[in-house]
Chains A and B, each alone.
Chain A
Amino acid sequence: SQQGEEDPQALSIQEGENATMNCSYKTSINNLQWYRQNSGRGLVHLILIRSNEREKHSGRLRVTLDTSKKSSSLLITASRAADTASYFCATAPSGQGGSEKLVFGKGTKLTVNP
């Protein structure tokens, strides 16, 4: 399976703390993306990292990618209650020649307590 697997499945922290979520995948990829989903809503794209990149930042988000270990991490710094959501990694497997298909993991449910 090309499916990504997030770890941990659930994470509960206090406001102001950092949250780290991990994603592992099984096949070669073109890029890896992180999405966020508030309860019962659609997914929102957060950040994308290409297979030739190792680290990327966007505001309070930091994403790393280790293609040798087939893993990625998402760090949210100085968390806020509004960051409470589920976070998914999604991979675009390589060799699909322009296919639009993404493969999503099961997600990490993050709770940030005020």
Chain B
Amino acid sequence: ETGVTQTPRHLVMGMTNKKSLKCEQHLGHNAMYWYKQSAKKPLELMFVYSLEERVENNSVPSRFSPECPNSSHLFLHLHTLQPEDSALYLCASSPTGTIPPVQFFGPGTRLTVL
């Protein structure tokens, strides 16, 4: 958790707002992930970036838009969200080219959509 930071930690937004979540990793990893964690559901993988290239988009609605400007930073841009998008959004990183892929998680952003 200490090597991956996320801001903000809490976010409340209306359905018409635009906001961004930020993730930064200080571990020298080349892969970064966004997950969504809702109550009583498994952790849902949203996006995977490897070497700054998106390699996975898990059928995520277009109101979620990821951006990976470099291997240390990952953003999740949010616009016109729905109340069901309220959840804990977790960022993770891992080294590439290694098996197994142990992932290191940030503390998460608790998002509430009104």
Contacts and interface: CB of A to CB of B under 8 A. Distances in A.
Interface of A: 3, 30-31, 33, 35, 40-45, 48, 50, 88, 92, 98-107
Contacts of A30: 99-100
Contacts, number: 69
20 contacts: A3-B42, A31-B99, A33-B100, A35-B105, A43-B43, A43-B92, A43-B105, A44-B1, A44-B105, A45-B102, A88-B43, A100-B33, A100-B48, A100-B96, A100-B101, A102-B45, A103-B45, A104-B42, A106-B40, A107-B42
A92 B105 contact: no
Contacts of A35: 105
B106 interface: yes
Interface residues of B, number: 31
Contact of A40 (B41, B88, B105, B106): B88
Interface of B: 1, 4, 6, 31, 33, 40-43, 45, 48, 50, 55-56, 88, 90, 92, 94, 96-97, 99-108, 110
Nearest to B49: A100
Contacts of A100: 31, 33, 48, 50, 55, 94, 96, 101, 103
